[in-house]
Amino acid sequence: MTDDLAALFRRHLCQTSDTPMGLVVQSARGAIVRDVAGGEWLDLLAGMGVANVGHAHPEVVAAVRAQAERHLHVMVYGEFVQAAQVRLAARLAALCPPPLSVVYFTSSGAEAIDGALKTARKLTGRRRFVAFDGGFHGDTWGALSVGGNPTYRTPFEPLVPEVVFLPFDDIPALDAVDDTVAAVVVEPIQAEGGVRIPGRDFLPALRRRCSAVGALLVLDEVVTGFGRTGTLFAAEQWGVTPDLLVLAKALGGGLPLGAFVGAPEVMATLAHDPPLAHVTTFGGHPLSCAAGLAALEVLLRERLAERAATLGAELRARLRGLLGRGGLAAVRGAGLLLGLEFETPAACARFARAAWGRRLLLNWTLHRDTVVRLAPPLVLTDAEAARALDDIAAALG
């Protein structure tokens, strides 16, 4: 049956690479993914940043089960009062920095980026966007248009017009943000770009520039949000509040969910001239919102952001002791978002293959073929962390 599944996977699921991992999954709990042959894999990617509270957390599963017994989809987004949506929105509003208090739920991070771009254009009446080299915001038409890697943009051009790309973490380059710009889109840490962390002054300077020229600052915390970098939101570490905060991945506790959050006067632009200026059918699905609220409460109660900060610092210190082995050239990160930089793409690929052989789930970043990203569940135990370090050391050879 396993062979049948693998063959059907190849035949009927659209392949996005020539060499998919092809792991046949039986179950997943915490930081462990089990295959159908009984093998246990240590997940150091958390389902690509989704499972911050671990796979199938019992409180999340219970919340999904309870919501499924009440109702599933009942009406297009924004028309009926659905408790799961309202409670999660209110909880997020209480946690976001003022004046961010109104939430628009979507089904994914890319969809949330698209909604944020539309909101910025409609509110400001301006056409231009600014984004950054190396940035990644998703693969829908709008999100791809502000993605900072031409390799992925070029085959699909022409895209959304009037997008300017600036070098990341370059304060003088911000002079290009002027009063013709509707919004600037940026990740506080470029995850797919190789876990690139800006200096202390870059994001505050960008905030000041946007405020000076009337452009909206759109902060993409799809990867960095919900404790991943050691604080609930990464932007807290720079003291920056955006005009629109984009969330996804861990937001749904394992179910598909995205959102963009803004001040009431910013978000109100979607309700008039015309009404229903931005709508979605499945955004904020009640199952996803119930799972998201349960996951958020676990994250806060168990202080997982603080654990990410502490454990991440320990892992970085231990990993830096391996520099020079297997071509490992640098280790950087914030919280439990870590980047292992290798001297060459070949060394990076060799390490990833060796780690796979030791049943570690990891891979290099999409836009930097010399960097392996580690982003394990924030519930990673001390014993699992020790295993990860031992296996990484062995994979480096």
391 pLDDT higher than 90: yes
Q: Find the length of the chain.
A: 397
1 pLDDT higher than 80: no
Residues 133 and 222 in one domain: yes
372: containing domain: 2-53+303-396
Residues 38 and 126 in one domain: no
* Domains: count for the chain: 2
Residues 222 and 347 in one domain: no
Q: Mean of the pLDDT values across residues 261-278?
A: 94
Residues 48 and 87 in one domain: no
Residues 229 and 91 in one domain: yes
Distance between CA atoms of residues 130 and 165, nearest Å: 6
Q: Mean of the pLDDT values across residues 331-354?
A: 97
283 pLDDT higher than 90: yes
pLDDT of residue 294: 98
Residues 25 and 46 in one domain: yes
Which CATH number does the domain housing residue 166 bear? Answer: 3.40.640.10
5: pLDDT confidence band, cut at 50, 70 and 90?
Answer: confident
- Last residue of some domain: 279, 301, 323? 301
- Model confidence, pTM: 0.95
Token pair recorded at residue 46: 């958390």
Distance between CA atoms of residues 156 and 144, nearest Å: 9
Distance between CA atoms of residues 363 and 20, nearest Å: 12
Residues 169 and 260 in one domain: yes
Q: Using CB atoms within 10 A of its CB, is residue 94 exposed (0-12), middle (13-18) or buried (19+)?
A: exposed
For β-strands 244-247 and 216-220, DSSP reports them as parallel
Q: What is the per-residue pLDDT across 55-73, written as a single tens digit (0 to 9) for each?
A: 999 999 999 999 999 999 9
Q: Mean of the pLDDT values across residues 86-114?
A: 98
pLDDT of residue 220: 98
Residues 10 and 70 in one domain: no
Residues 94 and 10 in one domain: no
DSSP 12: H
| CA angle, 384 then 2 then 15, to 5° | 85
Q: Mean of the pLDDT values across residues 72-93?
A: 94
Weakest mean pLDDT among 4-18, 162-176, 234-248, 306-320: 4-18
- Last residue of some domain: 249, 268, 301? 301
pLDDT of residue 2: 62
pLDDT of residue 9: 87
Cβ neighbours of residue 248 under 8 Å, at least 6 residues apart?
Answer: 106, 108, 109, 112, 222, 257, 258, 259
Q: What SS3 state is found at 310? A: helix
Weakest mean pLDDT among 14-28, 114-128, 205-219: 14-28
- Last residue of some domain: 280, 301, 322? 301
193 pLDDT higher than 60: yes
Q: What is the per-residue pLDDT across 250-262, written as a single tens digit (0 to 9) for each?
A: 999 999 999 999 9
Share of the chain above pLDDT 90, in %: 91
366 pLDDT higher than 80: no
Residues 257 and 320 in one domain: no
Residues 81 and 11 in one domain: no
Which CATH number does the domain housing residue 37 bear? Answer: 3.90.1150.10
Quote the mean pLDDT of the chain: 96
326 pLDDT higher than 80: yes
Residues 37 and 8 in one domain: yes
